[in-house]
Amino acid sequence: MKKTALNILFIIVLNTFFLQIALSQEKSIAQRVDSVLNLMTLDEKIGQLNQYNDDWTATGPVTIDTSKARQIQSGKVGSLLNCMGTERTRSWQKIAMQSRLKIPLIFGQDVIHGYKTTFPIPLAESCSWDLEAIELSARISATEASASGINWTFAPMVDIARDPRWGRVMEGAGEDPYLASKIAYARVKGFQGNKLGETNSVMACAKHFAAYGAAIGGRDYNSVDMSDRLLLETYLPPFKAAVDAGVATFMNSFNDINGIPSTGNKYLQRDILKGKWKFGGFVVSDWGSIGEMINHGTVKNGYEAALSAITAGCDMDMESRSYINNLAQLVKNGKVPVALVDDAVKRILKKKFELGLFDDPFRFCNSEREQKELNNPDHPIAARDVARKSIVLLKNQNRLLPLSKEIRTIAFIGPLVKAVNQNKGFWDVEVPGVDSSYVVSQWEGLQRKVGNKVKLLYALGCSIEGDSKDGFGEAVNIAKQADVVILSIGERRDMTGEAKSRSNINIPGVQEELLKALLTTGKPIVVLINAGRPLVFNYTADNAPAILSTWWLGSEAGNAIADVLFGDYNPSAKLPITFPLSVGQIPIYYNHFNTGRPALSDDNRFYTSSYNDLSIWPKFEFGYGLSYTTFQYSNLHLSKKKLNYNDQIEVSVTIKNTGRYVGEEIVQLYLRDIVSSIARPVEELKDFKKLKLEAGQSETIKFIIDREKLSFYNQQLQWVAEPGEFDIMIGASSRDIRLKDSFELVE
Ligand code: BGC
């Protein structure tokens, strides 16, 4: 008995000794990881691959488990998600510090578009095409989250989405691989800051790997059927951009691709991500997605699911408990080489070292810093700036906007005028102990803007859904008393987001009928469309004189909208996703092929690739967005008309602000490969520049075209540029091409 106690004491002393050596800061991270790994039992290794939800909110089925603390104490958990605040994270971390090897926990959270300060939903923010503003919004989100105990965000979502029925379009950067890649890069840089290990950096997570946005029929979690070329050329580039930006982690996805669930997909995770792209971080499953492979029908039980996922390269199991329950047995049975487990553990430990958690497991648990950053006065200023930049001016007949300073009475009508939390959109974070009093509603924003100089009248009009028109009378009545009407309509914020697919993407309820009733007053009407996806609103688009797409703009929504209404900010945003004319056109996107019988206009549908009963054109195209001023494009000049393989062409174009307001223009460069060995899109965005011009000012901007911009995956899936002619188009949108030229690539 006495001897056993002595033995145990000896082992503890020895372990502590080795752990100290392991943690010695002198060593490189790789050496420190190895020395910790050497101390670990198989069960402790598998524990590092296990992630649990805290006992709070969840986006999937939670296993009720009162033994979490005990499991953490015995080294069976590597990370927790949905655990927020310095107090709460500190208390779990303390428990982890009671485990034999004292390996700290990582705390993950969906910080998708802000933590306390809520920024516009990612799709909205992407309308700004403003990479600096987007990076700053991620930077601030990371600063707040990291001050509140979080060290890992499950963002950015970089899924290309061409189907607005899919509720998760709101989380991404739209339909175009070039723009989405630039935005993915900026977001990763923003979240991770200068480097992991600074206390205001969090690990980013590129998700959902891969092609989750191509779910058939826009139904969430649905299957994906896709050619390798489309995958490589359209759906993977934003993920590659995230790797180039140094993203620390990846999340795989719920969908199967061509029958293989992404979670068990070796081609994606081992061959492409960890092989070809040399990704050194770790991959987490999506919520329960390892276990869900049983439903996919590709594995029989948790044992096979764990085998499939670890073999395919999925390192951490989010909430399916497949690893914790089966991996040890798989290793013992010789089905999984321990080297595979070791590789996954090393990847996770490496990040824990890089985050500095081994040096100080409580470095993200400073409550003073938490209070300071959650109340940092600079954050709402940045949120207001990017919110203004996210508002898209869709229509502005007779220059109704900006509103005249002469206006004396405004009728502000609609179910979203006085809403508060709606403005935060889906995937906002409910920070413990923080109420929503800091969110600026649209009503409050307008009130603050006009003070007592303008009389503001309010009516609800109708609700978002439902068919009651009882409020129409009052709304029409106040409209009659006003100089101008502002009508705020759209979706509820939880009509987009995860598991929020819709087959009908019209503006719900009787909201467009309310507009019809208000139009009978003859008053000028500005419509604000609040939504998380492109909606169909043809009546509004055809009849309202002015329309702003305000999406969900976050905690500064009211201020940002008021700034734009009164011209204190001149809208500059452009759509990163096509707005269809009807659900029947979906999927619709600008960079499609020409086909053998191209539909070039609605006047000639005779045996062309068109609908007999519907236009070929969307309501608002990719890249579209107006300004209060006008821009003239001229002097397109190419430095040469023949491009040698390793050479470049310098393209210059002059942009002039020909209107009365200072404004920003997003100048877009599209290319088309005229003849190639496989069909190529009719146009592809290959560059853009956002520039600010005073009224009357002009500037000449430059773009560079090189072979990379002309390359594509050929029939053998090799990345090549083929000699021949290319069209170059400079436009204010994908349809509004202002200047065109061509050049030749020669061998
Ligand atoms: C979502 C992920 C999210 C995870 C954790 C899942 O349901 O698909 O995007 O990060 O839940 O909340």
54 within ligand 1 shell (Cβ under 6 A)? no
Phi and psi torsions of 400, nearest 5° = -60, -35
60 within ligand 1 shell (Cβ under 6 A)? yes
Compute the distance between CA of residue 340 and CA of residue 328 in angstroms, rounded to an integer.
12
Q: Ligand 1 pocket test: pick from 286, 290, 426, 428 the residue with the most ligand atoms within 8 Å of its Cβ.
A: 286
59 within ligand 1 shell (Cβ under 6 A)? yes
292 within ligand 1 shell (Cβ under 6 A)? no
Ligand 1 centroid – CA 285 distance (Å): 9
Give the contacts of 645 (CB within 8 A, at least 6 positions apart): 707, 721, 745, 746, 747
Which protein residue has the closest C-alpha to ligand 1 atom 12? 59
Ligand 1 centroid – CA 12 distance (Å): 39
Which protein residue has the closest C-alpha to ligand 1 atom 6? 287
Tens of pLDDT, residues 289-305: 999 999 999 999 999 99
DSSP 151-216: -EE---B------TTSGGGGGS--S-HHHHHHHHHHHHHHHH-S-BTBTT--B-EEEEETTGGG-G
Which protein residue has the closest C-alpha to ligand 1 atom 7? 59
Confidence of residue 2 (pLDDT cuts 50, 70, 90): very low
Give the contacts of 141 (CB within 8 A, at least 6 positions apart): 111, 113, 114, 115, 117, 119, 153, 190, 191
Q: Measure the N-to-C terminal CA separation of the chain; round to a whole number of Å.
A: 83
Tens of pLDDT, residues 160-200: 999 999 999 999 999 999 999 999 999 999 999 999 999 99
Phi and psi torsions of 598, nearest 5° = -60, 145
171 within ligand 1 shell (Cβ under 6 A)? no
Q: Ligand 1 pocket test: pick from 62, 498, 501 the residue with the most ligand atoms within 8 Å of its Cβ.
A: 498
Per-residue pLDDT at 67: 87
Query: 251 near 209, Cβ under 8 Å?
Result: yes
Q: Ligand 1 pocket test: pick from 84, 110, 150 the residue with the most ligand atoms within 8 Å of its Cβ.
A: 110
Tens of pLDDT, residues 516-545: 999 999 999 999 999 999 999 999 999 999
428 within ligand 1 shell (Cβ under 6 A)? no
Atom of ligand 1 nearest to the CA of 253: 8
Q: In the numeric block, which tokens belong to residue 609?
A: 């690739």
Atom of ligand 1 nearest to the CA of 108: 5
Per-residue pLDDT at 398: 96
Compute the distance between CA of residue 707 and CA of residue 728 in angstroms, rounded to an integer.
14
Ligand 1 centroid – CA 483 distance (Å): 46
Atom of ligand 1 nearest to the CA of 154: 10
Alpha-carbon distances, residue 151 vs 144, 202, 379 (angstroms)? 11, 5, 19
Ligand 1 centroid – CA 39 distance (Å): 33
Ligand 1 centroid – CA 643 distance (Å): 46
426 within ligand 1 shell (Cβ under 6 A)? no
Tell me what the mean pLDDT of segment 22-35 comes to: 81
168 within ligand 1 shell (Cβ under 6 A)? no
Q: What is the mean pLDDT of the chain?
A: 95
Buried b (16+ CB within 10 A) or exposed e, 495-526: bbbbebbbeebebbbbbbbbbebbbebebbbb
Alpha-carbon distances, residue 276 vs 21, 58, 180, 596, 702 (angstroms)? 35, 34, 21, 35, 33
Compute the distance between CA of residue 329 and CA of residue 335 in angstroms, rounded to an integer.
9
Q: Ligand 1 pocket test: pick from 80, 107, 154, 255 the residue with the most ligand atoms within 8 Å of its Cβ.
A: 154
Looking at the DSSP bridge assignments, the partners of residue 234 are: none
Q: Which residue has the tokens 């107090």?
A: 87
Q: Which residue has the tokens 């919520």?
A: 287
- What 8-state DSSP symbol labels residue 25? T
Per-residue pLDDT at 569: 98
687 within ligand 1 shell (Cβ under 6 A)? no
pTM above 0.85, yes or no: yes
Ligand 1 centroid – CA 149 distance (Å): 19
Ligand 1 centroid – CA 368 distance (Å): 30
Ligand 1 centroid – CA 290 distance (Å): 13
DSSP 119-134: PPPHHHHHTT--HHHH
498 within ligand 1 shell (Cβ under 6 A)? yes
DSSP 462-512: S-SSS---TTHHHHHHHHHT-SEEEEEEE--GGGSSTT---S--BPPTTHH
286 within ligand 1 shell (Cβ under 6 A)? yes
154 within ligand 1 shell (Cβ under 6 A)? yes
Confidence of residue 460 (pLDDT cuts 50, 70, 90): very high
Q: Comparing C-alpha atoms, which of 66, 88, 84, 68 is closest to residue 76? A: 68
Per-residue pLDDT at 3: 46
Ligand 1 centroid – CA 58 distance (Å): 8
Query: 565 near 402, Cβ under 8 Å?
Result: yes
Per-residue pLDDT at 1: 39
Report whether pLDDT(616) > 80.
Answer: yes
Tens of pLDDT, residues 110-152: 999 999 999 999 999 999 999 999 999 999 999 999 999 999 9
110 within ligand 1 shell (Cβ under 6 A)? yes
Tens of pLDDT, residues 352-406: 999 999 999 999 999 999 999 999 999 999 999 999 999 999 999 999 999 998 9
| Span of 15-24, 321-330, 376-385, 399-408 with lowest mean pLDDT | 15-24
Query: 304 near 290, Cβ under 8 Å?
Result: no
Atom of ligand 1 nearest to the CA of 58: 12
Compute the distance between CA of residue 604 and CA of residue 368 in angstroms, rounded to an integer.
68
Tens of pLDDT, residues 255-287: 999 999 999 999 999 999 999 999 999 999 999
* Helix axes 367-374 and 131-147, enclosed angle (nearest 10): 140
323 within ligand 1 shell (Cβ under 6 A)? no
Ligand 1 centroid – CA 688 distance (Å): 32
Ligand 1 centroid – CA 160 distance (Å): 17
Helix (H, G, I), strand (E, B) or coil at 656: strand
207 within ligand 1 shell (Cβ under 6 A)? yes
Compute the distance between CA of residue 238 and CA of residue 254 in angstroms, rounded to an integer.
18
Query: 312 near 270, Cβ under 8 Å?
Result: yes
* Helix axes 86-96 and 367-374, enclosed angle (nearest 10): 150
Q: Comparing C-alpha atoms, which of 429, 436, 475, 510 is closest to residue 107? A: 429
Report whether pLDDT(488) > 70.
Answer: yes
Tell me what the mean pLDDT of segment 642-660 comes to: 97
Which protein residue has the closest C-alpha to ligand 1 atom 4? 287
Which protein residue has the closest C-alpha to ligand 1 atom 10? 154
Tell me what the mean pLDDT of segment 483-501 comes to: 98
Determine what percent of the chain is predicted with pLDDT higher than 90: 94
Choosing from 130, 286, 315, 428, the catalytic residue is 286
| Residue 220 annotated as catalytic | no
